[in-house]
Amino acid sequence: MNQKLWMKSRTSNIFVFGLKAVLASAFLLALLSAPVALNRAPTAFAQTPLTAAKQLSEPAKVEAPPKKSPPKTIDEYVTEGQNWLLTSGLHVLIILLLMSFALKSTNVFARQLLAIFTKNKEGTELKKRADTATSVVRYILIASTVAIAGMMILKELGIEIGPILAGAGVVGLAVGFGAQNLVKDVISGFFILLEDQIRVGDVVQIADKSGVVEKVTLRMVVLRDVSYNVHYIPSGEIKVVTNMTKKYSGFVYDIGVAYRENIDQVIEIMTEIDTQMRSEEEYETAILEPLEVFGLQEFADSAVIVRARSKTETGKQWKVGREFKKRLKERFDQMDIEIPYPHMTVYAGADKNGQAPPVHISIDERSEASS
């Protein structure tokens, strides 16, 4: 019990001693600051009339020009250089090391991106497109890294980067307004390359123009149509792309026959012709699958339409389709199956009693003129 009271009293003494020490320190600080306040020059409002008159009677003192500081010695320059190297110079070195590491990481990232694009894919053109896309990504990352590191180094050198950023913003705004179509084309072209929508040699339809792709860049796509006309289409104007030679192709047949013909017989003839073509060396690799017959498609004005489809290699669909229709026409002629052509029925009308007026028809037989 006595030990607890002794500990309690000792704690109270320590607290009181600490409080006294704080108060004493505050009192000493007040005493030290008092002479400074007392030695201050009196303000104009606190001056007595006698002192003010005395100051007015005294001539004004002319201040001597400031003395020029002596030129710095070599030792002083060396000392300042050492101080800069230990502070800002060290920061600049760290920034350069980080920039070098970021640039190497950018190259590694670009190589990995290229490997992803070309994985399980073959072809020289595809590799060129992947190289173009990864190059754009790499250049953007390198430019951003160098720009950020440059601004940080300028700041360490004591150069204000605020005006530089403001000027760059104004220039970028002006360029953005003046070349917005160019920027739009480049961005659209980048995604066309990235997504592998079209490649050189494809037959496509873009902006109501169709033809073979001769060139694909970030800015435009160049097409050549069947008449050998060349079309230059900016990438920013491409809204819908119809690629007719992507992985595989196909040809759709809409075969019209007369209403009196047997549809099953027509379908059987079409299937036989397809089987015959697939057994030939010229077309066995071009036709990938047997003919797919959809059946009766439409009742037209003077014919019934039978629809079918062939799956072919890319770019071979037109050759296969033309040969198939040629052989089908020859077989229809052999089997006396009518391929209809436009007919016209003339109706003379009838009166109220249901009697039709007579129609006078005359046939003129013209002999060939003698030469």
The pair of three-digit structure tokens given for residue 154, joined into one six-digit string = 């300028």
Instruction: Please count the residues of the chain.
Output: 371
232-237: Cβ within 8 A, 24+ apart: 233/206, 233/207, 233/209, 234/181, 234/185, 235/184, 235/185, 235/186, 235/188, 235/189, 235/192, 236/181, 236/184, 236/185, 236/187, 236/188, 237/207
Q: pLDDT tens across 197-252, in order? A: 888 888 999 988 999 998 888 888 999 999 999 999 998 889 899 999 888 999 99
Query: Which residues are within 8 A (CB) of 146 and not within 5 positions of it... i.e. 6 or more apart?
Result: 99
Is domain 249-334 classified as CATH 1.10.1740.10? Answer: no
The pair of three-digit structure tokens given for residue 118, joined into one six-digit string = 């070309």
Which residue ranges does the chain devote to CATH 1.10.287?
77-178
Rg of the chain over all Cα atoms, to the nearest angstrom: 48
Which residue ranges does the chain devote to CATH 2.30.30.60?
198-243
User: Tell me, what DSSP letter sits at residue 286?
Assistant: T
CA 55 – CA 49 distance, rounded (Å): 10
- Residue 343: its pLDDT value, please? 65
- Residue 211: its pLDDT value, please? 93
- Residue 65: its pLDDT value, please? 62
Q: Per residue of the chain (371 residues), what is the pLDDT tens digit?
A: 544 444 445 444 544 444 455 454 444 444 434 443 444 444 444 444 445 445 545 555 555 566 666 676 777 667 777 777 777 778 888 888 888 888 888 878 877 776 776 666 665 556 666 666 677 777 778 888 888 888 888 888 878 878 877 887 887 777 777 777 888 888 888 888 778 788 888 899 998 899 999 888 888 899 999 999 999 999 888 989 999 988 899 999 999 999 999 999 999 999 999 999 999 999 989 999 999 999 999 998 889 999 999 999 988 999 999 999 999 999 999 999 998 877 666 777 777 777 777 777 777 765 554 44
Given the candidates 1.10.287, 2.40.50, 1.10.275, 1.10.3470, the CATH classification of the domain at 77-178 is 1.10.287
pTM of the model: 0.55
Given the candidates 3.90.1150.10, 2.30.30.60, 3.30.450.40, 2.170.190.11, the CATH classification of the domain at 198-243 is 2.30.30.60
Which residue ranges does the chain devote to CATH 3.30.70.100?
249-334
Give Cα 127 distance to the centre of its chain: 19
- Residue 123: its pLDDT value, please? 59
